Amino acid sequence: MKATTYTATCLCVLTLATSTALAQTALTATNAPPKTPPWDLSASAGLTLTRGNSQTLLGVANFLGTKKWDQNEIDLGADAAYGSTTDQKTDVTTKNADSLHGFAQYNRLFTERLFGYLRLEGLHDGVANIDYRLQVNPGAGYYLIKNTNTTFRVEIGPGYVYEQDRVTQGTGTNATTVVEHQSYISLRLAERYDQKLNAHAKLWESVEILPQVDKFSNYFITAEFGIETAITKKLSQKTYLQDYYRSEPTAPKKNDLRLVAAIAYKF
């Protein structure tokens, strides 16, 4: 009888200890801070080749990353393009695309829709004779629309631009290339619209205008419109149109237009 009582007492103590440990574990899990959402990362690439009567090459690549948590938002992006055309008679190759671009933007939400931001951006465009252009843009933005399937935001703020260009002076055999530097204070006006059409497709568009504050006739505009359609859970097809306009270009033309079709992979 004593052995049975002792065994029962031990079982009760063991059960109580186990219950207490499980309760403490559950309480710890409940009070643990929520995990930070992971990055949303994707990379895309496209390639066009022609051979025969014409010989051309155009390759594009793009990387995007976004992260949102609490009152914070981060957007990262980088894209590159290279293209060339070879004259079949002279066998001379001419570059028609040579660009590298990247940006990083951090948004801090003050309310559900109002936020402040800091944006850093860099560009190299060999065809447009831009060795490099660096931009720093602080400012404020507001979500005019913000729900599960649709977002539309506007942004405004000052900025600083520093640029190195190659300018051709003279014509023919007397032509020379001069390296020029310029820096100025700019104003940045931007908007972006994102629309989820369904579970497999979405579209977006964005426009950005940056005029020189003390010389509004000097400005550039970048615009993009695109649509993405899912192929599998990880793969999708992207088609987008990019337009770049500069009022005082260092290249012969003010406007550069690019239509891109690419395959994207989501990490």
Residues 116-167: pLDDT tens digits?
A: 999 999 999 998 899 999 999 999 999 999 999 999 999 999 999 999 998 8
**139 or 87: which leads in pLDDT:** 139
d(C-alpha 151, C-alpha 113), whole Å: 10
Q: Is 3 helix (H, G, I), strand (E, B) or coil?
A: helix
Task: Clarify whether residues 23 and 150 are in a common domain.
Answer: no
Task: Clarify whether residues 74 and 146 are in a common domain.
Answer: yes
Return mean pLDDT, the chain: 87
Task: Clarify whether residues 205 and 257 are in a common domain.
Answer: yes
Distance (Å) of CA 94 to CA 50, 86, 97, 245: 15, 6, 9, 22
Whether 250 has a pLDDT exceeding 90, the answer reads no
Task: Clarify whether residues 23 and 151 are in a common domain.
Answer: no
Task: Clarify whether residues 194 and 257 are in a common domain.
Answer: yes
Which parts of the chain are beta strand (E)?
40-50, 55-69, 72-86, 93-109, 114-125, 130-146, 150-169, 176-196, 201-212, 215-230, 235-246, 255-266
Total domains in the chain come to: 2
Task: Clarify whether residues 67 and 179 are in a common domain.
Answer: yes
Task: Clarify whether residues 208 and 124 are in a common domain.
Answer: yes
Domain that holds residue 108: 37-266
Task: Clarify whether residues 25 and 63 are in a common domain.
Answer: no
pTM of the model: 0.81
Q: What is the CATH number of the domain that holds 110?
A: 2.40.128.130
Task: Clarify whether residues 197 and 95 are in a common domain.
Answer: yes
